[in-house]
Amino acid sequence: MSPTFQSQNARTGEILPGEFHEATPHQIDAALRAAVDAFRTFRQTSADKRAQFLERIAAGVEAVAEDLIELADQETALGRPRLPGELARACNGARMFAAMVREGSWVDARIDTALPDRKPAPKPDIRLMHRPVGPVVVFGASNFPFAISVIGSDTVAALAVGCPVVVKAHPAHPHTCERLAAIVKDAARESGLPDGVFTMVHGRSHEVGTALVAHPATEAVAFTGSLRGGRALFDVASKRERPVPVYAEMGSLNPVFLLPRALVARGEQIAEGFVASLTLGTGQFCTNPAMVLAPHGASLDFFLSEAGRRVAAVAPASMLHRGIHQAYEQGVNRIQALQDVLVTARAAGADQSKCQASAVLFETDSETYFKHPEVLREEVFGPSSVVLRCTGQADMIRFAESMDGSLSATLHGTPEDLAEFSELIEVLQTKVGRLVINGYPTGLEVCPSLHHGGPYPATTHSHFTSIGLSAFLRFVRPLCFQDVPEMLLPEELRDSNPRGIWRLVNGVRTQSAVAS
């Protein structure tokens, strides 16, 4: 019998009824072998069948939404309005990918017809489209029990393009994962799909995750979590006899730059928005603004006063689980121990027995940052941020040039500020996956244009997004067909274009059939 573990109420520490078994090597092997078997038929299913599958998942989740929200709240303490909004985001995401599959242009079909009489050599008929890679392993995230978990963007993006999925449930909310997995399995059965299209396994040990990534049937891995965890899985995949990609999203500092004219004109409004972003979800977002840079002076003093007043007024709240709470407290203590770092404000009244976190705002100067990069450059996952006093644009550029890859960077500035600080903006574009002007990095708009990624260590591959419509690109590969007879071509590449999708034919984007 494999080891077992139990879930806890995130607020009280109470053990919740029920036990979960660590997946054995045999169970992991069986799950991935079933995924391989399912892939043979799943990759050939019609677009409409896969779209209906995703829509059934969304409908099944919505039918028991209140039960799921209550269960997830017990295990994560994320509460309302966060969890209902996140559940809606996950269901909307499934439907977004269903619509993408039906529309069909995601395959990026390209056709260059033959020129047999071309001199000095004939031109062959060449056609190209995306094809699914095969079984995908998805690691559920601790901080998004719906939107980046069993029914999250990784899972639905992979299923949409015809890849079977094996999910490793997050051990901090296993009951929620179980309920969601049952809904996905029901939807697969109702859609007439093979059992191996979707499987979920449990595990708290590193061995379970390692075995999933190392298994020879795994073709791609999606992970959202810590730098240590993501890098460990990446290294496992790289050492395989046949390496496979690990698309790990691992968080970042997400610096916010307050430019001088904007700071003078609307310091109070910026402080209000910043603190709301910092403390959203008890700061447990990978896009949390963990660093602020601004020119020193009276306007920054006013901003610190306003932001500090708001931080002090934020009610402490329970974090996702005891491990995250401990890591947050240790990170805050490391920053506080540094000489020349001041605590601008700290919320009072946290109950440590309930894993509650107090929001904290620190301040120091940019020179202190460069003296202690090993502490100040490290993300502290939770509601804390450090404000750096800068002497001018040169200080900010120095920081930007030295910073690690980040999911985002934000600037608050007037048109005049943005023109004056254009060099800083140019540097930041080489360091981040998303540039935000006069907004805040939290609260992603899930749409086709969104890119949620960034240079390492924000992610293991900055070319791809884990959120938004382009997330499917992680789970497909181009396949080229040269002089292949019409009868053997996928529908999307046939001359008649039976699905009516947009294609690039001899350099022209069209929905028309290929001329004889």
Residues acting as catalytic residues: 249, 286
Of the candidates 263, 268, 283, the residue with the CA atom closest to the CA atom of residue 360? 283
The encoded tokens of residue 62 equal 């919505």
Of the candidates 483, 482, 504, the residue with the CA atom closest to the CA atom of residue 492? 504
Burial class (CB in 10 A: 0-12, 13-18, 19+), 370: middle
DSSP-assigned letters across all residues of 411-464: EE--HHHHHHTHHHHHHHTTTEEEEEESS-SSS---STT-----TTTTBS-TT-
The encoded tokens of residue 390 equal 């800068």
CB 176 within 8 A of CB 75: yes
CB 155 within 8 A of CB 35: no
Phi, psi of 457 (to 5 degrees): -95, 15
Please name the helix (run of DSSP H) or strand (run of DSSP E) that holds residue 477, with its range, or none.
Answer: strand 476-482
* Strand locations in 53-141 (E): 110-112, 126-132, 136-139
Distance in angstroms (rounded) separating the CA atoms of residues 324 and 320? 7
Distance in angstroms (rounded) separating the CA atoms of residues 100 and 469? 8
HEC profile for 339-350? CCCEEEEECCCC
